[in-house]
Amino acid sequence: MGKKIYISADIEGVTGVVHFDEVERNKDDFGMFRKFMTREVNAAIKGALDAGADEIVVRDAHGDARNILPDELHRSARLWRGWADTPLSMMEGIDESFDAVMFIGYHAAADIPDATLKHTMSGRVAEVHLNNILMAEAGLNAVMAGLFNVPVIFVSGDRAVCEYSKQTFTNIETVSVKEGKGAAAINMHPETACELIRKHAAKSLMQLDQYKPFQPKPPYTFNVRYRREHSAFKAQFYPGATRTDSNTISFKSDNLMDCLTFFYYCMG
């Protein structure tokens, strides 16, 4: 029986990307790196197909969500493009019907050393913790998949996010396409990156029974530390939020979706 796969794709973790000018629309280099993003997503699609997937949904999850080139995307996949503006954000469209999730082009959380273009959803956010677990975007999005009992089985991106994923999740298959060095990075050749992504995406799906959804236990405490005091001042007025210091807001609930909704509306 075939498998239904959800792929959430970012761009900062794509090989070659080392500067925000390369991932922003209307900048000279954006056209090239959106092609690289599309190719890495295609590699994951091919790997999933190699391992027996028969339905694949790709969520373009960067910026304005209009980065992946639709005419160059593998024809076996459907593309979720643009924002519906729900708290699921980079995971819009995920539900219980999926068997597994893959993350492509992902990056590390804000303030992680030796990471490329690190941030957590918004440049205004310095640090996010859920029940004292550091939340990179990979962590937040894995939590969203876990709400629907779907495991994350594969991550590609920079070395920092791959190491984070191995430390945070019970089990995960990864491909590190580059390694951050200060503001620079040592990058894998795009063709080599795609070959490895295809190989390890297939491997992860073929051993699907080894993975478990990422599901932190209630009660939930969600802490957001902002870079600017003004962001915390504003967020403290969200119902149920508590300001714990000049730059930090805490939100507690037994309902995880309430926490994710808080973060969605209070990212800064």
In sequence order, the β-bridge partners of residue 226 are 125
Q: Which residue has the higher pLDDT, 253 or 268?
A: 253
Q: Is the pLDDT of residue 77 over 80?
A: yes
188: phi then psi, degrees, rounded to nearest 5:
-75, 150
Mean pLDDT of the chain, nearest integer:
96
Q: Are 49 and 100 in contact (CB under 8 A)?
A: no
Domain 3-210 class, CATH top level: alpha beta
Element (H, E) at 163: helix 159-168
CB atoms within 10 A of CB 163: 16
Report pLDDT for 134.
97
- Residue range 14-33: mean pLDDT, rounded: 96
User: CA 139 → CA 54, 91, 156, 235, distances in Å?
Assistant: 26, 12, 14, 22
Q: Which residue has the higher pLDDT, 2 or 193?
A: 193
Report pLDDT for 268.
65
Look up residue 18 and give its two tokens: 């080392």
List, for residues 212-245, the tens digit of each pLDDT value: 999 999 999 999 999 999 999 999 999 999 999 9
d(Cα 128, Cα 112) in Å, to the nearest integer? 12
* Global confidence as pTM: 0.97
List, for residues 154-209, the tens digit of each pLDDT value: 999 999 999 999 999 989 999 999 999 999 999 999 999 999 999 999 999 999 99
Domain boundaries along the sequence of the chain: 3-210, 220-265
- Residue range 84-94: mean pLDDT, rounded: 96
d(Cα 226, Cα 31) in Å, to the nearest integer? 32
Q: Which residue has the higher pLDDT, 235 or 1?
A: 235
Q: Is the pLDDT of residue 67 over 90?
A: yes
Report pLDDT for 1.
67
Lowest mean pLDDT, pick from 64-73, 93-102, 115-124: 115-124
Report pLDDT for 104.
98
Q: How does strand 133-134 pair with strand 53-60? A: unpaired
- Residue range 50-61: mean pLDDT, rounded: 98
